Amino acid sequence: MKKIITCLLAFLGLTSACGQKMYEDVDVNKFAELVADSNIVILDVRTAEEFSDGHIERALNVDVKQGDFLEKTKVSLPADKTIAVYCRSGRRSADACDKLSTEGYKVVNLKGGIMAWTGEGRPVTKW
């Protein structure tokens, strides 16, 4: 019985640890402070079409819904820099942050995505 209880507690501990986020959600103002630093890499995880409609300056675009998302990001993102991630509303970027953080990247997610960004009057570019 003691072994069963020990195993159950160990399992619950692992489940809880695995359920924790390994990234930070930040608001528009904090995200703007971060991306003002040229050492921060900005990653837009929306589709190419969404990206072309307007994106944060200096952002790289890798669609998180594509099957090769991790392969592309491993090639294009430096492992030693913070990655500031955003999407349209914050849902896809949270998914991307989960994936990237498990690969060892330090990532920060924009709460509310580019909708929150533009809602606060922050600029986008269409180059």
Catalytic site residue from 7, 18, 87, 97: 87
Beta pairing, strands 106-110 & 60-61: unpaired
The helix-helix angle for 69-76 and 91-102 (nearest 10°) equals 70
Helix or strand or coil: residue 50? helix
- Among residues 96, 80, 79, the alpha carbon closest in space to that of 44 is found at 96
Active site residue 87: yes
Active site members: 87
